[in-house]
């Protein structure tokens, strides 16, 4: 019988709110990647790491954003592991925000919702859903090939996770992702448990966090 590989897919904990415009150009994109967790976010990340799911983790991956690494560090500490960094798990690049405002003038929904509807919608210096999905899927599939039967943590970001989940999920009329009619809530933080045999998804569950917080 094929071994099952468990992937705990986590959206990073709450980030610190900072005044100012981000992502106008490449320098501000770098600044965005450096945003840290809030005090509440640190507390939630620590409490998240104490869950029984993280008793025996074999490997941890994170985007290169500080807030994702800061979320992963508690799980890494608990399991005496180093964090592996892969920029393919980074958040979707929005691109130039000034131009994004112009795009939004003719759109009915939020930019993320519009990208969920239109996989090729793309801003200047930004990414579309297909591009984000491809890089996320490529890294996930490589990890699955190299770590069959293991328990894996991947810490990423809201839009990037949604775009990856479109491999297996449907989008309802309220722009919520559903898996077998179960609505997924990609809040910050959130915890999803994906079970694979080889590279085939056999189950996807959302682990509810409200009681532990």
pLDDT in tens, 138-160: 999 999 999 999 999 999 999 99
Peptide bond into 189 cis (omega under 30): yes
Is the torsion defined by CA of 26, 88, 68, 177 positive or negative?
positive
pLDDT tier, 32 (very low <50, low <70, confident <90, very high otherwise): confident
What are the pLDDT digits (tens) for 185-210?
A: 999 999 999 999 999 999 999 988 76
Cβ atoms of 36 and 70 within 8 Å: the answer is: yes
**d(C-alpha 61, C-alpha 154), whole Å:** 5
pLDDT in the model for residue 23: 47
pLDDT tier, 27 (very low <50, low <70, confident <90, very high otherwise): low
pLDDT averaged over every residue in the chain: 92
Provide CB contacts within 8 A for 108, sequence distance 6+: 114
Cβ atoms of 23 and 93 within 8 Å: the answer is: yes
pLDDT in the model for residue 168: 98
pLDDT in the model for residue 212: 55
Find the length of the chain. 213
**d(C-alpha 125, C-alpha 79), whole Å:** 38
**d(C-alpha 193, C-alpha 208), whole Å:** 11
pLDDT in the model for residue 182: 96
Alpha helices by DSSP H, 50-93: 66-79
**d(C-alpha 120, C-alpha 123), whole Å:** 10
Cβ atoms of 93 and 112 within 8 Å: the answer is: no
Q: How far apart are the first and last CA of the chain?
A: 38
pLDDT exceeds 70 at position 213: no
For the chain, the maximum distance between any two Cα atoms, rounded to a whole number of angstroms, is 54
What pTM, to 2 d.p., does this model score?
0.93
């Amino acid at each position: 019988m094929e071994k099952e590989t468990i992937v705990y897919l986590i959206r990073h904990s709450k980030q610190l709110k900072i005044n100012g415009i981000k992502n106008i150009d490449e320098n501000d994109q770098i600044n965005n990647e450096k945003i840290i967790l809030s005090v509440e976010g640190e507390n939630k990340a620590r409490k998240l790491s104490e869950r029984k799911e993280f008793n025996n983790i074999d490997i941890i991956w994170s985007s290169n954003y500080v807030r994702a690494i800061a979320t992963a560090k508690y799980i890494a500490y608990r399991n005496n592991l180093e964090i592996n960094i892969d920029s393919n798990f980074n958040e979707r690049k929005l691109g130039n925000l000034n131009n994004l405002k112009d795009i939004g003038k003719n759109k009915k929904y939020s930019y993320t919702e519009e990208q969920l509807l239109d996989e090729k919608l793309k801003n200047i210096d930004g990414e579309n859903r297909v591009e984000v999905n491809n890089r996320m899927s490529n890294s996930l599939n490589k990890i699955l090939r190299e770590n069959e039967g293991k328990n894996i943590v991947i810490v990423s970001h809201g839009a990037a996770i949604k775009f990856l989940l479109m491999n297996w999920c449907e989008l309802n009329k309220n722009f919520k992702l559903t898996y077998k009619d179960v609505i997924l809530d990609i809040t910050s933080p959130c915890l999803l448990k994906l079970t694979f045999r080889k590279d085939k998804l056999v189950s996807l569950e959302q682990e509810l966090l409200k009681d532990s917080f």
